[in-house]
Structure 1
């Protein structure tokens, strides 16, 4: 009866291995390797306090298991746990010589119950590991893309967004829109910035402020971008308030700005609505710096651009994401001349228009009204904005 029960346990183990291999893609060899290690440790814990060299073997055809200990064949035994005399070894088999490893079965008669529980634990562990691996690979593929989720909870550091699959993505303060309030059960679209493989499952970090979130929204709303006809050359944002997007067309017959704006502004308005009313300036990218600077300062009119390559500086950007890395951008200098009545428009509220234009073009922009260009140098006051 006991033998029949043991055989049933073996068959159940083999059946579980087959299910995991067929349905979860976990190779039987992987389970067998993990299980033999676990059985060896279980034997040491329950039957051998001396830390002998132990090996567990499983027959992957029948599911039967055996436990062996290894001892070195020596002339004179010093450590009986690890050594056996040549005389005793030859009593077992005449084939042994000095220096050989003697492999001796020590499977306890009552080891079946412990082995069955160990096998169950290993199978469940492998199943959990595989499920975590599948979820990790899914979200790793979604890195740098948009996903939908539901606000689950909040603590002092993060808002946690439930993405499904038992995954809660973390969104830190820097990645939260200042014009949005996140309440539990709110549906929210987020941009996946980073995915880490952790022992408890994948750790996903998301953002609502990343410039690439805006890029993905344009790709969804503007077919010409996903088709490669129109290209986004640059995006800068003060999330929740204003953004500038530089676009370029590979087809001379396609207006990149008008294409992104859409009929009656429908395309860009759809994006604005998803960002809680964030204003979006779409400007045409130009290879020629002067023309690009003129476009970037829209809606202000520009009379002239005077370049001074020696008048530049390094801008330290704010740390982005969890790595806290400080990035830098070199701004070459130039003076932008605008009509007197356009000065406030060019600078923008709290300097926002020229600040974003500087970030988009990579130039330090000094804004001067046209009238000051005709005044003596000692009477001029420059308006310097470099994106800081």
Structure 2
């Protein structure tokens, strides 16, 4: 090690931001291990590096004791006084044991330590740089394929696009530049690990933030996103300015803004709907493009019962239930869709029927009690079979009427 090496440490401190003192401390620690390994020493040693000249010295450190039990770490008082009469019991004596060819070993070890520290510092810089970009949009170049994973060149490092984050049916080619959503940045033994996605709902949100100036200005806000990547998405937006139509702002003139996002997402269909604090209105909007007749909210079960025209039922549900499913994800409500004809078939006087059934049932119970009393009297006073038979027929007829009313009530 020489003066040029020390000057190089000064340059590294300026360029890489790694403290010179930290580097020297790391080199000293590494040289202790190198000395013990190469020279088979078991002594307790200390390395001293001159920050001015770059000179390296090795000192064996021993404690002054009365009787020496371990020659690697202890020295007798008599021997210590032979070195310097000021030593007393318990003092630490340092004896220089620098090998003749230790300079070459020191230079080699120092170089390895410095290179390692530089790599670690660069990894830390990259980690800090991309950690700030979590939940943000980045652009990278497809570098290579590894199994089903895609490695993205980010300039100073690589990002990982696993199969689970790739859009089904989307083709990827080496050298192609694509926009990605940063899901997570973590540290590993090999450096920072950057996980990116093409399927995350956040990607849709960030793309619209780029295309729609009103979102950047804070006039339009994206309130919720539901996505089935590569097929269809729904996005709810609101406006802080009554003069700004949030849906129109996101669609853009002649649909240019939304089309720009669609082109970035493998022609994924995107429904933009207006957000509303009223869940009935919001659920109705979320089922766009289907028309909605009415929405009934069941807050306890978190269910929205939606009525649509008969000819709009398939549109409201969507292919394989996709439209209803995305509306449920977007709103957070379970959506139950019925066609209008089913609701119209239900009687409007259901409450009246129920009341009449209850009243008739009460009258029947009262009549049965009076009939029983009359029957007891007729048994003691020459019973008339015709009267008794007529009474039984009347009771049976009234019971059947009550049962019919109860049946109709349950069906409706």
Instruction: Decide: shared fold, TM above 0.5.
Output: yes
Given that 1:40 and 1:55 are in contact with CA atoms closer than 8 Å, whether structure 2 keeps it comes out as: yes
Query: CA-to-partner distance for each residue in 1:33-78, whole Å, 9 max, x for gaps?
Result: 111111111111112332x222111122222221112112211111
Moved more, 191-200 or 358-367: 191-200
What residue is the counterpart of 2:132 in the other structure? Answer: 141
Moved more, 30-39 or 9-18: 9-18
In 1: Cα distance, 2:320 partner to 2:230 partner: 15
What residue is the counterpart of 1:13 in the other structure? Answer: 5
What residue is the counterpart of 1:347 in the other structure? Answer: 317
Given that 2:133 and 2:182 are in contact with CA atoms closer than 8 Å, whether structure 1 keeps it comes out as: yes
Given that 2:160 and 2:195 are in contact with CA atoms closer than 8 Å, whether structure 1 keeps it comes out as: yes
What residue is the counterpart of 1:125 in the other structure? Answer: 116
TM-score by length of 1: 0.86
Indicate the SS of the match to 1:259: helix
In 2: Cα distance, 1:49 partner to 1:68 partner: 12
What residue is the counterpart of 2:202 in the other structure? Answer: 212
Q: Spell out the pairing of 1:252-331 with structure 2 (5 A cutoff).
A: 252-311=242-301
Query: CA-to-partner distance for each residue in 1:107-160, whole Å, 9 max, x for gaps?
Result: 112211111111221222222222222222222222222222222222334121
Structure 1 residue 303 displacement after superposition: 1.3
In 2: Cα distance, 1:35 partner to 1:352 partner: 62
Superposition misfits of 4+ residues, deviation over 6 angstroms? none
What residue is the counterpart of 1:152 in the other structure? Answer: 143
In 1: Cα distance, 2:333 partner to 2:45 partner: 69
Given that 1:16 and 1:123 are in contact with CA atoms closer than 8 Å, whether structure 2 keeps it comes out as: no
Given that 1:90 and 1:96 are in contact with CA atoms closer than 8 Å, whether structure 2 keeps it comes out as: yes
In 2: Cα distance, 1:26 partner to 1:199 partner: 20
**For 1:95, which of 83, 86, 94 is the aligned residue?**
86
Task: Give structure 1 stretches of 5+ with no counterpart.
Answer: 1-8, 312-331, 380-388
**For 1:161, which of 147, 152, 159 is the aligned residue?**
152
What residue is the counterpart of 1:316 in the other structure? Answer: none
Say whether 1:338 aligns with 2:308: yes
**For 1:367, which of 337, 344, 365 is the aligned residue?**
337
Given that 1:247 and 1:256 are in contact with CA atoms closer than 8 Å, whether structure 2 keeps it comes out as: yes
Task: Give structure 2 stretches of 5+ with no counterpart.
Answer: 348-406
Moved more, 253-262 or 115-124: 115-124
In 2: Cα distance, 1:153 partner to 1:107 partner: 51
**For 1:61, which of 38, 52, 74 is the aligned residue?**
52
Structure 1 residue 219 displacement after superposition: 0.7
What residue is the counterpart of 1:40 in the other structure? Answer: 32
Given that 1:243 and 1:356 are in contact with CA atoms closer than 8 Å, whether structure 2 keeps it comes out as: yes
Aligned residues: 349
Moved more, 123-132 or 271-280: 123-132
In 2: Cα distance, 1:286 partner to 1:95 partner: 87
Larger Rg: 2
Indicate the SS of the match to 1:252: coil
What residue is the counterpart of 2:226 in the other structure? Answer: 236
| Larger proportion of helix | 2
Given that 1:190 and 1:208 are in contact with CA atoms closer than 8 Å, whether structure 2 keeps it comes out as: yes
Indicate the SS of the match to 2:300: strand
Indicate the SS of the match to 1:164: coil
Say whether 1:28 aligns with 2:15: no
In 1: Cα distance, 2:149 partner to 2:229 partner: 18
What residue is the counterpart of 2:213 in the other structure? Answer: 223
In 2: Cα distance, 1:48 partner to 1:104 partner: 17
Given that 1:230 and 1:256 are in contact with CA atoms closer than 8 Å, whether structure 2 keeps it comes out as: yes
In 2: Cα distance, 1:305 partner to 1:96 partner: 94
Given that 1:148 and 1:190 are in contact with CA atoms closer than 8 Å, whether structure 2 keeps it comes out as: yes
